[in-house]
Structure 1
């Protein structure tokens, strides 16, 4: 996103005392990190992370227990115990944190801080997806009970591209990018490589002058929520509950300049519980073109991409084969897709999938007991085959479509996109009542 309107403050990022793992108290930093809570494939991924180290952050972001309230109390007790035992400790002074990820041909660098939460009409932070009320309620109760921001949201903005050359003339330069570049040449606060092969480095910026440079470079800018819509809705809910300008009026975020570090956009897939592929295919054949593909997953995904360039298209999996579903009936779309939205929204694969195919044809309600959302393509296929269910694989939405809809104030169907790489959870936390 570019600039907000004249006179708007834009993004207000402030330093905080980060809470981090004490390396001597854990097996390794990589053993205690986790993907964001909604990317962990449960239960296999949960058990894998829990067994990596008894202090893995997943015990806080996805605590286990018989009820939501008991789970959240368990997370709060665990967090308090780790702080008392010195497994986690707060940094000595407030800082902004430069965070870098490298891997799979990607370099991403951004800044972590606490963001002043704007009002609903400020247009400073733009969501692009709807949220599920039950997930927001769960995240809000966990955050309320632990009084901690356990993982940063991923927000993107578009900088100016130019960087101060250090000669003292920052006219037209992107001051935030200049500081990030300078800081990244120093010895990092921590460095670790996670099992996905990504290397993570973190630096603290405690110099008030550099903090001011970073903040000044963000003034007047507008951000897009790339990852963390439910946590953003949680921030706003808890801010409204507590009121005032206290700690709940700020939220932990990672800001990345996509003019310098373009993010990758991937699809989030659907798992339709209890619906065999055979039944799904039979129902959809009356309204779409359905073809069974002979090839393995990579070739099937190539066919999906080619079909998606011409019409709405999906891959159905779960019976050991792949079924390409495309060219939905125009009459069906006219009857089921809302007409009061922009054409770009009406043509989204997620819009057509939920409005026409799932709601009207397959009669699958959008509720957790009927649909799961899975980021990994192979994981979605494996789960469908193991459960006798149907995986619906989608093709990614272009980033420019996401940004333009967000600029218009139009939200996409929930779980329409997956921006990445996502920040590793567990590198830095924020307690709202630091001791």
Structure 2
């Protein structure tokens, strides 16, 4: 086995996952492990969630992944200084031996996810090893790259999935055997999820996992911007180096299926009556005087037939469906597969945002992308904006499009559960 980072036998065949010395919180130096964790940086709903996490513990990981200061440069400098201080104070400590990490999440209601965290070789798109399914926003990639340069660290893993054979193959057999021992850490976060982490350092076990994954292809489930950041930073540094690799969690969805949820849109400064008025004659609009759960059921039924959305923000829900065929023909690009052209996200971005509402999809002053459904509605009602609620896309549709090399509109899906940030970090200067 080669843990130094360049096993030639696997570099050209498949996924190359290598051990690393994880940075982890010393439980004796923090209030609780749950209090220092956070959802991924792009799931934290600002400012409510950010302030809540900052207040939960002075060492919460959000102070690294979403530092707060007046300028981008000051934010990144603050994150770097905070990381170095926590290391010098022993708040974060480095594991003695390099290893891979088994990570388990469970919600107590039947949702169980297990996977392996490691440093994955950053491959080129032409290799077809790591498949994106969404476009990225350049300013977000630039922001994440600046933060990683400043801290010289991968602060949170992105989530990748692969399809095993659904049985106790090499990786799964190592995982199942590893979890029989005591975990490195165990905690339950306020969302009800329990989290456990184990290390794998035995050379034979590492060989089994690496050999198994060397035959696999991965789909980016969550973390497109971080993967694009890894690729940018790898190109900036001479190879071989620690920048050739990025922190990931790999989950076999044949054995541990993920949930696929929608990511919703919040239109800033757009009143619901104005948003609906612009749809007159272009979509069917029906007002629903029902609670959120019932409105989402109605949306699901409508989405089985064709493109459908829920508009909210004025105290009610409005089902928007049955788009005009001529409108779609004029606005949706014709040079893509039918599966892409009929996506709700495609119609939202190509037709509604670009041609009906005239809202740039990458302007954060005009549009926000929010994972939590209720939070999107609440913020729209508080701010006088318009919430656009989406129905989730099936995983098989996502994977099929990715294999065709077709990317979906940005923020089209939310795979979960997402790994908690703060359980294990990777320093690139060790």
CA distance in 2, matches of 1:157, 1:49: 32
Name which of structure 1's ranges 423-432 and 281-290 shifts more when overlaid on structure 2: 281-290
1:310 corresponds to 2:313? no
- Of 423, 426, 431, the residue aligned with 2:422 is 426
Give 5+ residue unaligned stretches, structure 1. 1-5, 164-173
Provide the residue aligned with 1:133 in structure 2: 138
Provide the residue aligned with 2:181 in structure 1: 186
- Of 218, 221, 228, the residue aligned with 1:223 is 218
Provide the residue aligned with 1:169 in structure 2: none
Deviation (angstroms), 1:245: 1.5
1:399 corresponds to 2:403? no
1:375 corresponds to 2:371? yes
Q: How does 1:275-424 map to 2 (within 5 A)?
A: 275-366=270-361, 367-424=363-420
Deviation (angstroms), 1:358: 1.3
Deviations 1:123-156 (A, max 9, x none): 0000000000000000000001100000001000
Counterpart of 2:120 in 1: which secondary structure? strand
Deviations 1:359-411 (A, max 9, x none): 11111111111110000000000000000000000000011100000000000
CA distance in 1, matches of 2:283, 2:315: 21
Counterpart of 1:20 in 2: which secondary structure? strand
Provide the residue aligned with 2:158 in structure 1: 153
CA distance in 1, matches of 2:102, 2:263: 28
Provide the residue aligned with 2:3 in structure 1: none
Deviation (angstroms), 1:118: 1.1
Q: How does 1:204-215 map to 2 (within 5 A)?
A: 204-215=199-210
Distance 1:7 1:247, change over 3 A: closer
Provide the residue aligned with 1:273 in structure 2: 268
Give 5+ residue unaligned stretches, structure 2. 1-9
- Of 36, 42, 64, the residue aligned with 1:38 is 42
> TM-score normalised to the size of structure 1?
0.95
Provide the residue aligned with 1:167 in structure 2: none
Provide the residue aligned with 2:246 in structure 1: 251
Deviation (angstroms), 1:162: 2.9
Q: Is the 8 A contact 1:8 1:220 kept in 2?
A: no
Counterpart of 2:104 in 1: which secondary structure? strand
Provide the residue aligned with 1:25 in structure 2: 29
Provide the residue aligned with 1:119 in structure 2: 124
Q: How many residues align?
A: 419
CA distance in 1, matches of 2:123, 2:24: 27
Query: Hey, which bits of structure 1, 4+ residues long, moved more than 6 A?
Result: none
Counterpart of 2:377 in 1: which secondary structure? helix
Deviations 1:298-335 (A, max 9, x none): 00000000001111000000000000000110000000
CA distance in 2, matches of 1:272, 1:310: 26
RMSD of aligned residue pairs (Cα, Å)? 1.0
CA distance in 2, matches of 1:117, 1:295: 47
CA distance in 1, matches of 2:116, 2:421: 15
Deviation (angstroms), 1:120: 2.2
CA distance in 1, matches of 2:96, 2:266: 45
Deviation (angstroms), 1:8: 4.4
CA distance in 2, matches of 1:379, 1:364: 21
Counterpart of 1:396 in 2: which secondary structure? coil
Q: Is the 8 A contact 2:161 2:219 kept in 1?
A: yes
Deviations 1:73-107 (A, max 9, x none): 00000000000000001001101000000004200
CA distance in 1, matches of 2:129, 2:43: 26
Q: Is the 8 A contact 2:167 2:255 kept in 1?
A: no
